[in-house]
Amino acid sequence: MPQARARTGPALTASVPRPPAGLELLGEFRGSGFREPQYLVRRADGQVIQLSRLLYAVVQSADGGRDLEAIAAAVRRDTGRGVRAEHVRFLVEQRLRPLGVLAGSEESTSKPQRADPALALKFRFPLVPSRAVQWVTTQFRALFLPRVVALEVVFALAFAVWLFFVHGIGDPLLALVYHPSFILITAGLAVLSALFHEIGHATACRYGGAKPGVVGAGVYFIWPVFYTRVTDAYRLDRRGRLRTDLGGIYFNLVFLVVLGEVYFLTGFEPLLAASAIQVLQILFQLLPFLRFDGYYILSDLTGVPDLLSRIRPTARGLAPSRRGERRADELKPWVRVVTTIYLAALVPTLALFIALLAIRAPDLVAAAGESLRVYGDRASAAFSDGEVASALVALLQLVLLVLPAVGLALSTARTSGLLGAAIWRRLKTSGRRPAARVPEKLGA
């Protein structure tokens, strides 16, 4: 129990804590990788907060009608701990109000902070509102019936084996080279499958009993990507969260089956090129080093909402002089072992990626500038000659080369700002433990 100054008399009950508008108690975080049970609440702005049993009991008891003495009595009944009114006051003022999960008798003018996790998706904007997402997911819920899932997975695996080991992908790739219009078809199918992937996350979330949010787009490092807000999946058990994580990959398999069916009906070779892209997208999504599906799968398997936030305390806890690092010791032993192995793989991989990105950045910018001229001229010439397909392919190539450069510029500017802000906060910090904000769950 934190030490607090004892206060008595009217000052102790002057402010009756109450939940802010829109606060939702999500209950215990099931399948947790922590030694002690953890509980979740969600603010009206969508930010999920992870709390200890004691803090959750205080929030649960602070209904706006109880004073500090009554809250302390309720917490004592719920937790069996010797909590007094002055302890409640300390927890409310020093822990819960700064997190935005309790309010006083008057509205606070300060806006509680949201989580800004490392390697997160930036520059997001919604494309499909949540109400439309609810309607769409209703149409696809039957795809998550167990028998349907089994059939789709078997058919997808059989088609992928046939494609790569029997038919081969050489002829489909040659068809793209000789027919520029096929490139446009393949690119369009890739974009459509990416959106279908996000619908998979949302449908899995809905099937498990949670409510998906918007589907949108953003910039991840230097790439434009789609995303789905499925933060409400934190209310589900581990199985439901893993279903949500795998829902996008499963819908890639469904899309692969549809492409295979259409190919066998039409013999249209570009469909096989699009099928090969589906397989590559699945393999890429399974990588756990960035915040793609593989990362969230590993996070939910271990029961730690944000593995990346545990990297630093885990690394510090490995040093003999820093044994007993609190945030590392919060984890169950097997989870800490997994986190340590993940750290050993992540650091060199990420360092190599960032180094290559830094080395190639000048070439990327130069290529984008040259592309504006070369492909712009090529598209103009093709339009003048009436070759619409060739012109559109040139424009597509131009976009694919320029977008990473734009993403790099945006990410560099934002990273520089965050670095400056982090240094400033470091200079002002008082050494207090950081707030336990849970990052948004975004299918990407």
Return the domain boundaries, the chain.
9-99, 122-443
Q: Are 341 and 298 contacting, i.e. CB atoms less than 8 angstroms apart?
A: no
* Cα Rg, the chain, nearest whole Å: 26
d(Cα 264, Cα 271) in Å, to the nearest integer?
10
Q: Which range is least confidently modeled, 84-88, 198-202, 224-228, 425-429?
A: 425-429
> Which pair of structure tokens corresponds to residue 330?
């919060």
The mean pLDDT value for 381-399 works out to 66
d(Cα 88, Cα 55) in Å, to the nearest integer?
9
> Which pair of structure tokens corresponds to residue 9?
């008399």
DSSP secondary structure code for residue 34 in this structure: B
Would you state the pLDDT for residue 419? 45
Would you state the pLDDT for residue 422? 45
pLDDT classification of 178: cutoffs 50, 70, 90: confident
Would you state the pLDDT for residue 5? 38
d(Cα 164, Cα 170) in Å, to the nearest integer?
10
Residues 6+ apart with CB under 8 A from 338: 298, 302
For residue 336, is pLDDT > 80? Answer: yes
Would you state the pLDDT for residue 80? 87
Bridge partners (DSSP) of residue 18 are 103
For residue 8, is pLDDT > 90? Answer: no
Range 103-140 burial, b when 16+ CB lie within 10 A, else e:
beeeeeeeebeebeeeebbbebeeebeeeebeebbeeb
pLDDT classification of 254: cutoffs 50, 70, 90: very high
Q: Which pLDDT tens digit goes with each residue over 223-237?
A: 778 899 998 999 999
User: Which residue reads 């080991």 in tokens?
Assistant: 165
SS3 394: helix
Sign of the dihedral through C-alpha 180, 186, 189, 191: negative
Would you state the pLDDT for residue 320? 59
**Is 9-99 CATH 1.10.3470?**
no
Would you state the pLDDT for residue 7? 41
Crossing angle of helices 333-384 and 293-302, in 10° steps, is 170
Would you state the pLDDT for residue 6? 38
Would you state the pLDDT for residue 1? 40
SS3 261: helix
For residue 414, is pLDDT > 60? Answer: no
pTM higher than 0.75: yes
The mean pLDDT value for 155-175 works out to 90
d(Cα 40, Cα 437) in Å, to the nearest integer?
10
Q: Which pLDDT tens digit goes with each residue over 40-56?
A: 999 988 888 899 999 99
Q: Which pLDDT tens digit goes with each residue over 262-287?
A: 999 999 988 999 999 999 999 989 98
For residue 219, is pLDDT > 80? Answer: no
Cα–Cα distances in angstroms (integers) from residue 267 to residues 165, 261, 319, in the given order: 18, 10, 61
User: Which residue reads 């167990």 in tokens?
Assistant: 146
d(Cα 375, Cα 379) in Å, to the nearest integer?
6
Nearest alpha carbon to residue 223 among 123, 131, 74? 123
For residue 413, is pLDDT > 80? Answer: no
Sign of the dihedral through C-alpha 299, 302, 306, 310: negative
Sign of the dihedral through C-alpha 232, 279, 403, 407: positive
User: Which residue reads 């510090």 in tokens?
Assistant: 316
Would you state the pLDDT for residue 352? 80
The mean pLDDT value for 90-111 works out to 76
Mean pLDDT of the chain: 80
The mean pLDDT value for 125-147 works out to 93
Q: Are 338 and 303 contacting, i.e. CB atoms less than 8 angstroms apart?
A: no
For residue 210, is pLDDT > 90? Answer: yes
Q: Which range is least confidently modeled, 174-188, 200-214, 285-299?
A: 174-188
Residues 6+ apart with CB under 8 A from 84: 6, 72
Q: Are 104 and 17 contacting, i.e. CB atoms less than 8 angstroms apart?
A: yes
For residue 205, is pLDDT > 60? Answer: yes
Cα–Cα distances in angstroms (integers) from residue 178 to residues 183, 272, 389, 423, in the given order: 10, 15, 12, 54
